[in-house]
Structure 1
Amino acid sequence: MKIGTDGLVLGALAPCEGALQVLEVGTGTGVVSLMLAQRFPGIEITTLEIDEAAASEATQNVQGSPFSDRIEVTNTSFQSFLSDHQFDHIVSNPPFFQESLRSPRYQRSLARQDHGLSIFYLMDGGKRLLKPGGKMTIIWPYDRKEEFFDTAHDVALHPEQMTHLYTKPDREAKRIIVTLGHKETEMETNQLTVEDAFGEYSDDYKELLKDFLLIF
């Protein structure tokens, strides 16, 4: 799987300040966990990946980084994951192309579609793994935001922060990045646009990722 905008934005925005133990669900190449380790020197990250080849690639990427002593890649599904402790923060770029045609390649299909891990199971299972003051940050399609917030309500998780992600200024939002917690509070909202009107990366996007991408 290639590194995409969704993972980069999640890794750059997830508010893990003060967290010590972080869980990433569905790591792919490991980029989100690597970004979080770079942003927050004090955290330790457990990262899950169901696909064996992707988990192997993530392991190689972690071992080749300065953060290998703080990131543990586990080749398992979220459903099968057992932990002897709870986490301060959970992050996930989950499979969410529910209605799309399944890819002929199993790994890509598994990563891109939610027939393996529903948003309900992610939120409900994630809540059980969170410490009492813990938070969960998920990136999700804008056109399925009603489903997202209905599910959060059903499992008694409350939105604290939301970023609308736009590809271009004149288009509808493509994604939402939402941080959920146990306590009901007023949600903070903001937005990020990837490209400007001329098709170049926006100043806000470059500023967000300048510490991670050499092109910026």
Structure 2
Amino acid sequence: MEPFIFKQFNIQQSKGVFRVGTDGVLLGAMANIDNAHNVLEIGTGTGLISLMLAQRNADAQFLGIDINEEAVHLTKINFDHSSFRSRLENMQSDFKDFSTEKRFDLIVSNPPYFEVSDSEKDKVARQNVELNFQQLISKSSQLLSEKGLFSVIIPAEAGNDFVKIANENNLFLIRKINIKGIENSKVKRLILEFSLNESLMEESEFIIEKSPRQYSDQYLELTKEFHVFKNRS
């Protein structure tokens, strides 16, 4: 499988690991990493999100975990071949059993979200198989530093349930980005950012395409430091 080429790093891919996708790119480009020193990514896949965040914050240290042995191997390759390798670490771990004394200023995840599917393709990565929202949220809330942020991208239809579970685990929604695939369409994805400290929520809208196969100005501006192309033909 061909690598995905970014401006400052390349992503090697394989058929057994969930490939580079728009969801990961959006979270890597929009998660608030400004004041983070220690970052945890849950479910690294190829390592894309951590690499994007490492490019955005030159001071942050990263730990990525994944339950999939092939994903861990692939992430290590991508980490080791990047200019950010000294700040990137990854390991194989089931997040439910993950244990550390460290607390993280940012925890990010593009979590599994298809509750039911007949397809075996990307089964662990794309279904709620190994890690459900309750487990993800409750464990993340315990691992956050006092001013840490928990940032995820999920399907819009799962938003209310996700926020409810977060509230039950003392996490407050402070930022919400409503993502549309194309103008005048329904909201497709949500980037949700939570804190242990309650504050006024910031809400915005993001449109990926202005017309079929034509990226929006928003998307082009957001990804200009990452993508090597300017637009779709």
Question: TM-score, normalized by length of structure 2?
Answer: 0.89
* % identity of equivalent residues: 34
Q: Distance in 1 between matches of 2:193 and 2:35?
A: 15
SS state at 1:7 partner? helix
1:62 alignment partner AA = F
Question: TM-score, normalized by length of structure 1?
Answer: 0.96
Q: Distance in 2 between matches of 1:199 and 1:111?
A: 26
Q: Distance in 2 between matches of 1:124 and 1:32?
A: 22
Q: Distance in 1 between matches of 2:59 and 2:77?
A: 22
8 Å Cα contact 2:182/2:212 also seen in 1: no
Comparing 192-201 with 134-143, greater Cα deviation is found at 192-201
* Correspondence list, 1:38-187, <5 A: 38-101=55-118, 103-105=119-121, 108-187=122-201
1:40 alignment partner AA = N
Q: Distance in 2 between matches of 1:215 and 1:92?
A: 26
After TM superposition, which residue ranges in structure 1, 4 or more long, deviate above 6 angstroms?
none
Q: Distance in 2 between matches of 1:25 and 1:3?
A: 16
1:139 alignment partner AA = I
Counterpart for residue 50 of structure 2: 33
SS state at 1:211 partner? coil
Gaps of 5+ in 1: none
1:5 to 22, 30, 43: 22
1:164 alignment partner AA = N
Post-superposition Cα deviations, 1:173-209, rounded to whole Å, max 9, x if no partner, equal 1110011001111110011111113430111101101
Gaps of 5+ in 2: 1-17
Instruction: Name the count of aligned residue pairs.
Output: 213
8 Å Cα contact 2:40/2:106 also seen in 1: yes
* Correspondence list, 1:185-204, <5 A: 185-204=199-218
Shift of 1:145: 1.2
Q: Which has the higher strand share?
A: 2
Counterpart for residue 215 of structure 1: 229
Shift of 1:104: 2.3
8 Å Cα contact 2:171/2:195 also seen in 1: yes
